[in-house]
Amino acid sequence: MIDSNPFAELAAFISPTAMQAYVVLMVVLVAVGTILDMLHKKSGQYFFENARRAKRNATRTLSSGEKGALALKTLGKEVLTSGEFNNPKRRISHLLTMYGFIIFVVTTAILIFAYPTPDDPAPTVVPLLWHLGAAMLAFGGYWFWFSIRVDVASEGVKWYQLNGRGDLFIVGLLGMATFALLWSFTRDVDTLGTLFFVLFVAFSTLLFGSVYWSKFAHMFFKPAAAFQKRVIKADGSRENMPAVYDPSDPDVQARFPDVPAYMGPNPPNMGLGIKREAPSHF
């Protein structure tokens, strides 16, 4: 079951062209939603104004090589490994959801565009990955919904309470992944299979059609903001932040004589501070 292409079987009822047109429509909806979101929130304008201000306050100019290195670091930390999350549970849940979504969407496109009919069977690995992606997405999403979102330290929302716009994205993701799996497993059961397929399409449309109102566009904005944050640190503009001082540096000690008075000439490693003990809320 999980090694066969569900869309190829579907081709008996829905033409591959219609399926491909639906995928293209979803891509268009995402693009339009993101552009509208940018125009409405003026996030693009804010970002460029912020970058200009940072450039004015910069104490040094970054070479293109340095910028490239910062982009690579951003890619490695904030984009690929979600390293900015301090809560490991939230980070793992986010990574599962993110990679699940990417695997699911890419394999869906491959299955629909490259292997649309049963005459041209997809390599086993592709449908396997499609199911794996949906399962990762569902696992990460339900973890967030039933454990992280209900935690009073983060949002403290009961699992049965919907918060409208705030939850559009996660509801769309969860509905799409869950009903995709259920449809795949009940393909042989006529009514149930059809019902789950209709729900799968409905939630997919909700997810990709609600970009303007949901949190979907964060996947485009987040890397840009993370890169900018690294740039302001490297070029000295610092966004009004204080410098990162080394209290063992004699110059720093001369400027702030309180510090050696309290901590001695060689301040010890102070440990993890607030991170030393995970908060327990239950």
Partner 1 sequence: MPTFVYMTRCDGCGYCVDICPSDIMHIDKVTRRAYNIEPNMCWECYSCVKACPMDAIDVRGYAEFAPLGHSVRVRRDEEKGVIAWRIKFRNGEKDMELLAPITTKPWGKHIPQLADVPAPSQAMRDSQLLFNEPKYIRLDEGDLHTLASNGLVMKEGVYY
Closest CA to 229 of 100, 125, 84, 130: 84
Closest CA to 225 of 44, 83, 2: 44
- Least separation in angstroms between CB 161 and partner 1: 9
Residue number, 15 or 245, with CB nearest to partner 1: 245
Residue number, 68 or 265, with CB nearest to partner 1: 265
Token couple for 121: 């069977």
Q: Which ranges of the chain would DSSP assign to H, the alpha helix?
A: 6-10, 16-41, 43-57, 64-74, 88-114, 125-143, 165-185, 190-209, 218-234, 250-255, 258-263
Residue number, 37 or 115, with CB nearest to partner 1: 37
Whether 232 and 67 have beta carbons less than 8 Å apart is answered as no
- Least separation in angstroms between CB 71 and partner 1: 19
Token couple for 110: 């491959």
Residue number, 55 or 89, with CB nearest to partner 1: 89
Write out the residues near partner 1 by the rule CB under 8 A. 84-87, 90, 151-157, 163-166, 215, 225, 229, 239-247, 252, 255-256, 258-259, 262-263, 267-277, 279, 281
- Least separation in angstroms between CB 167 and partner 1: 8
- Least separation in angstroms between CB 75 and partner 1: 18
Residue number, 12 or 272, with CB nearest to partner 1: 272
Under DSSP, the state recorded for 279 is -
- Least separation in angstroms between CB 64 and partner 1: 25
